[in-house]
């Protein structure tokens, strides 16, 4: 899962797609994940970090991750 | 820039800064930003309540001119009168309906010392609503299928060919989305009463509305291209807020149009981008749009560049602009005095 190169993100969770002009707001953890994705950190590493830092089961993380990935896909901010 | 003993004097039309605004005030704002001072702006108005007439920090002096229907001779006489007083260097018309007369007069104006930077009749006709579909076919551009009609009975064949909803468009302005034959017929009568014949019936395309402001050098090169997505749209379909986009497909589309037509001057491509990402050209307006100041704000001042090109200067083609630049239009109650209204109403000058 890779963010498109031109997608702008901020620490506050603001996401801007300069190709479509669309903008979105992400909550703090989503903003953190987007920041890591933008740095090119592999998905497996990000998931491992979340499991370590937050009180969440692997099953719940996978479910939430799929939901998040779908939202990013729908928002057209991921590389095909 | 050409050397003048008097201030560079630019005459501009389209001062009706109302809810469906003319581009004039935005053009002037860009000129004041991008051209050296002293700069004198002459407003050319049609109606006495065009707000730009009364905005004296925008327009230095306004003269009423004749309506397009009065023909070129009446217009030329009026321009001669104004030119005698003001020594106009460049004239920028901003309305579709007046362009024909100004294009026709362009050589005469040039001989008088008034420069313009307008498309040729051939270029103007190629992008006309009536010819747009054929134009798209010729150059491989996506344009919605349409049918040009002269009678209300022809709407039945349009509905069969294009399906509902139908987009019923006036010759110059206005479009109505019709979901039934009754709505289409009502739109036909309304638009013919306002704009005359023919009516263009177009296939409906859904998607995101994007406009592209383009400045062509008349030799097949695009001096500037700025794509903008409408963020807020009025009930008249006008952008009340918009944002500059980064999109190579839109830039390529605009370049193809300019190369194909060798477009000279400003224009606006109205695009509908479908969910699949296909950019359909819905319309091509042969003049600057009302949101043209955004081009200056984003780093490509199209009106100022047009004036420089009209005066014979070499203007390098812009390559970069600021993405994510937003305009938000607002309305403002400008206060003036009845004396000013009386002056423009009675004497045609202010």
CB contact under 8 A, B247 and A6: no
Give percent of chain A with pLDDT exceeding 70.
100
Q: How far away is chain A from the Cα of B228, in angstroms, using its nearest Cα? A: 8
| ipTM rounded to 2 decimals | 0.74
**Cβ of B245 and A16 within 8 Å?**
no
Q: Mutate one of A6, A17, A19, A24 to test the B interface: name it (highest B CB count within 10 A).
A: A19
Query: Which residue did the predictor score with more confidence, B117 or B330?
Result: B117
Mind listing the pLDDT tens digit for each residue in B207-245? 988 999 999 999 999 999 999 999 998 887 888 999 999
What's the confidence (pLDDT) of residue A10?
Answer: 87
Q: Average of pLDDT values for B263-290?
A: 93
* pLDDT score at B243: 96
pLDDT at B2 exceeding the cut of 60:
no
Residues A22-40: pLDDT tens digits? 999 999 999 999 999 988 8
Predicted pLDDT of residue B127:
87
pLDDT at B286 over 90: yes
Pick A19's closest partner by Cβ from B231, B242, B245: B245
Predicted confidence (pLDDT) at residue B3 exceeds the cutoff of 60: no
pLDDT at A45: 95
Separation CA B202–CA B146 (nearest Å): 4
pLDDT at A79 over 90: no
Assess contact for B152 and B181: CB atoms under 8 A. Answer: no
Our CA-based measurement puts residue B244 at a distance from the nearest CA of chain A, in whole angstroms, of 7
pLDDT beyond 60 at B4: no
Q: Please tell me if residue A5 touches chain B, with a CB cutoff of 8 Å.
A: no
User: What would the pLDDT profile of B155-194 be if each residue is shown by its tens digit?
Assistant: 999 999 999 999 999 987 788 999 999 999 999 999 999 9
> Average pLDDT, whole number, for chain B?
93
Contact across the interface for A16 and B208, Cβ inside 8 Å:
no
pLDDT of residue B244: 97
The whole-number pLDDT of residue B18 equals 80
pLDDT surpasses 80 at A80: no
Please tell me the predicted confidence (pLDDT) of residue B17. Answer: 82
Per-residue pLDDT band at B117 (split at 50, 70, 90): very high
In chain B, what percentage of residues exceed pLDDT 90?
Answer: 83
pLDDT for residue B1 is more than 60: no
Task: Determine whether the interchain pair B324/A20 forms a contact, defined as Cβ–Cβ distance below 8 Å.
Answer: no
For range B193-210, the mean pLDDT:
91
């Amino acid at each position: 899962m890779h963010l498109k190169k031109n997608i702008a993100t901020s620490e506050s969770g603001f996401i801007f797609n300069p190709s479509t002009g669309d903008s979105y707001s992400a909550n703090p953890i989503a903003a953190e994940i987007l920041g890591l994705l933008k740095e090119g950190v592999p998905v497996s590493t990000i998931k491992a970090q979340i499991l370590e830092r937050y009180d969440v089961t692997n099953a719940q993380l996978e479910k939430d991750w799929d939901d998040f990935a779908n939202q990013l896909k729908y928002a057209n901010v991921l590389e095909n | 820039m050409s050397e003048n003993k008097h201030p560079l004097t630019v005459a501009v039309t389209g001062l009706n800064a109302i809810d469906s605004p003319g581009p004039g005030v935005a053009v002037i704002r860009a000129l004041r930003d991008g051209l050296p001072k002293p700069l004198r702006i002459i407003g050319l108005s049609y109606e006495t309540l065009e707000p730009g007439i009364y905005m004296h920090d925008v327009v230095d002096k306004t003269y009423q001119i004749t309506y397009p229907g009065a023909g070129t001779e009446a217009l030329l006489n009026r321009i001669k009168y104004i030119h005698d007083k003001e020594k106009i260097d460049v004239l920028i018309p901003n309305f579709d309906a007046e362009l024909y007369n100004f294009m026709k007069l362009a050589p005469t104006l040039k001989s008088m010392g008034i420069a313009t930077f307008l498309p040729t009749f051939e270029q103007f006709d190629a992008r006309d609503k009536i010819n747009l579909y054929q134009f798209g076919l010729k150059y491989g551009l996506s344009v919605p299928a349409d049918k040009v009609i002269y009678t209300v009975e022809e709407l039945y064949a349009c509905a069969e060919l294009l399906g509902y909803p139908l987009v019923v468009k006036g010759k110059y302005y206005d479009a109505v989305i019709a979901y039934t034959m009754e709505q289409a017929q009502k739109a036909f009568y309304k638009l013919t009463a306002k704009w005359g014949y023919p009516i263009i019936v177009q296939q409906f395309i859904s998607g995101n509305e994007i406009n592209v402001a383009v400045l062509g050098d008349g030799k097949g090169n695009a001096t500037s291209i700025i794509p903008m997505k409408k963020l807020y749209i009025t009930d008249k379909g006008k952008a009340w807020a918009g944002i500059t986009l980064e999109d190579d497909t839109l830039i390529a589309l605009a370049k193809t149009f300019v190369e194909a037509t060798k477009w000279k001057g400003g224009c606006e491509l109205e695009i509908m981008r479908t969910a699949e990402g296909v950019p359909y050209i819905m319309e091509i307006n042969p003049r600057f749009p009302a949101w043209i100041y955004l081009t200056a704000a984003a780093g490509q001042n199209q009106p100022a560049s047009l004036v420089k090109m009209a005066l014979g200067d070499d203007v390098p083609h812009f390559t970069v602009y600021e993405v994510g630049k937003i305009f938000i239009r607002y309305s403002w109650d400008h206060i003036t005095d009845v004396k000013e209204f009386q002056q423009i109403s009675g004497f045609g000058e202010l």
